Structure formats: structure tokens, C-alpha cells
Amino acid sequence: QGLKPLAPTESPDPIFGTSKPAPGLPATDPLLNPNKVPDLQKIFQRSDGLPVHLKRGYPDRMLYRTTMALTIGGTIYCLIALFIASQPKNQ
């Protein structure tokens, strides 16, 4: 008799993997955004010497600098807190 498989052997129909719109939607539905992937690939694959996380210009630079400032500030704050916690309390 043996063991029965836990999962069905047939794959179900894809829910989110369809490439064409549902039959009830018009072809030019405003909710369907144009595909921006080819444009972004051109930006990110350009060989201009910049790292990927800085390729999109000013907003990327600001996010990077803010992240670095918060990281360095948090590290300094943790080191100060550890230093204060390591000192014995005077009574």
C-alpha cells in the first residue's frame, strides 16, 4: 500500500504569475503600470564607476548618507552607554 504523497502531484494554476490582464479588465486599465524594469536595467548596468546603491542620483546619496550618519551615531551612543555602565557608582 505504501505512503501517499502529502502534496498533490499536479501543480495548481498560478494566481499571481499571469502575464495578461484578467478577462474583465480593459487592456488600458489605469491601475496597470508600465513596465519600468528595462529602463532601470539601463541605469543600473551603466558602467560609470558608481556603486549600485548610488546609481539613481541625489535621493540615493541622501539615503546613503543618512544611513551612515545614523549607524555611526548609534555606534558612538552604544560605546558611551557601555562606558557609563562600566563605571562604578559612587555612594
**2-15: pLDDT as tens digits:** 676 666 667 666 66
Task: Give tens-digit pLDDT for 18-55.
Answer: 556 566 655 555 667 888 888 988 988 888 888 888 88
For the whole prediction, is pTM greater than 0.75?
no
Q: Which residues of 39-63 are buried (b: 16+ CB within 10 A; e: fewer)?
A: eeeeeeeeeeeeeeeeeeeeeeeee
The domain segmentation of the chain, as residue ranges, is: 53-86
